[in-house]
Structure 1
Amino acid sequence: MKKRHLAISTALIALLATGCAQNDEDTNASTDEEVSLVPISVDLTVPETGEAGETVQLSAAVTQGDEKVTDANDVEYEIWEEGKKEDSWMVKSEQKTDGVYEADAKFDHDGLYHVQVHVTARDMHTMPMKEITIGAGAEAQAATETEGEDSEEHHHGTEGFSMHFMEPEDVKVNEPSMMMVHLQQGENPLEKARVRLEIVVNDKKDEAQWIDLSEDKAGQYTGEVTFETAGTANITVHVEGDEGLHEHETHEITISE
């Protein structure tokens, strides 16, 4: 009888231990899931002013909740002069201290510039933006625009709207290439937009191809494209949304054999 009671007690202890272990696993899984749902946050630091030809330091502190994000996939700064988004340039960053990604930038002439940092980390993407005035800033820019206003149309775009086309690498003929676009309105992802790619290969506009992208995450739109011809493709991203939003940007990629 004692042996029987001992066996039953042992079995109950084993069941309790298994249940506790399972509860611990469930708790850990739940905690991990909760952490992953916390959005990443970026504190972008850009000086308000600077001088042409001098180095300007840019900084982005990336966090998730109270945690410093030291494993960001990509942190890159995009810079352009007011009204000239199509002439933007990119600057790579380096992580100087835990979760802080820095870069140096130079501006070759006076004007008002936009600095936008593109941060991809932990399956999320955000792209806050700030302005910097170089030298005489807007005054110099206004003079330049006045001189060229008869020959050039300036597109100012929707206030607070941001677009980032992730240019695919190593695009080859007859191999699917993933196209990805991130959209943001203010500090939030732009959801439920209509995003289409107009693709023209080797300037053959009469053979333009249209591809609809799908939103697989908040503000992230993707789709695959297969090119049948090597050469140069001009990809225009068209975005339409609520309240008359209609924006577009054109990017150029190379297709190899």
Structure 2
Amino acid sequence: MKKWLLLFVFALLVVAGCANKAEEEELAYLDVKMAVEEKLPANEEVELACFVTYGDEKVTDASEVKFEVWKHGDDNREKIEGKHAGDGKYVARYTFETKGTYTVVAHVTAKNMHNMPKVDIVVE
């Protein structure tokens, strides 16, 4: 009887150890790094960009990438679709028509997660 109890406890420990390893592997998260210059020119087309990773993997199949842009003090917000440019980089082209301080937020959905990093930029 002791033999069966020990065997059962050993099997339980093995299964628990495997479950913990699987949980550790699933701890990856969606990371989005903005790649937008802090100072940009007015009335010139510029690149809004971000790099998307999930753990060590570069995300090439995000279900949504949009850049939301608005000028400080203005309620008018624009959303521009981002396109995959390779190696987990997503870009959109945009022209800031007036000088001032703007906020750019990347709305990224991938791997059943959503991330919204934000950066403030000065347009001169």
TM-score range, shorter chain: 0.7 to 0.9
SS in 1 for 2:102: strand
Residue correspondence of structure 1 range 182-193 to structure 2 within 5 A: none
The RMSD of aligned alpha carbons is: 2.2
The residue that corresponds to 2:88 in the other structure is 99
Q: Could you give the per-residue CA deviations for residues 54-93 of structure 1, whole angstroms, max 9, x where no partner exists? A: 0111111111111111121101100000122x31100111
- What letter corresponds to residue 37 of structure 1 in structure 2? L
Do the aligned partners of residues 104 and 35 (structure 1) sit closer, same or farther apart at CA in structure 2, a change above 3 Å counting?
Answer: farther
**Per-residue CA distance 1:230-255 (angstroms, 9 max, x = gap):** xxxxxxxxxxxxxxxxxxxxxxxxxx
Q: Counterpart in 1 of 2:6?
A: none
User: 1:115 is matched with which residue?
Assistant: 104
1:14-44 deviation line (CA, Å, top 9, x unaligned):
xxxxxxxxx8xx959x63x544432111111
The amino acid across from 2:97 in the alignment is D
Matched, 1:62 2:52: yes
Give the whole-Å Cα distance in 2 for the aligned partners of 1:99 and 1:87.
Answer: 29
Q: CA deviation at 1:108?
A: 0.9
Return 5+ residue gaps in structure 1 as ranges. Answer: 1-22, 136-257
Deviation at 1:125, TM superposition (A): 0.7
Q: Which amino acid aligns with 1:38?
A: A
Query: 1: CA distance between counterparts of 2:66 and 2:18?
Result: 36
CA contact (8 A) 1:46 1:131 kept: no
Per-residue CA deviations over 1:109-143 (Å, capped at 9, x if unaligned) read 111100100011111111001111111xxxxxxxx
- CA drift of 1:98 comes to 2.2
Residues 79 and 114 in structure 1, CA contact (< 8 A), matched pair in contact too: yes
| Aligned residue in 2 for 1:74 | 64
Q: Distance in 2 between the 1:79 and 1:125 partners?
A: 18
- Gaps (5+ residues) in structure 2? 1-13
TM-score, normalised relative to structure 2? 0.78
The C-alpha deviation readout for 1:127-167, integer Å capped at 9, x for no partner, is: 001111111xxxxxxxxxxxxxxxxxxxxxxxxxxxxxxxx
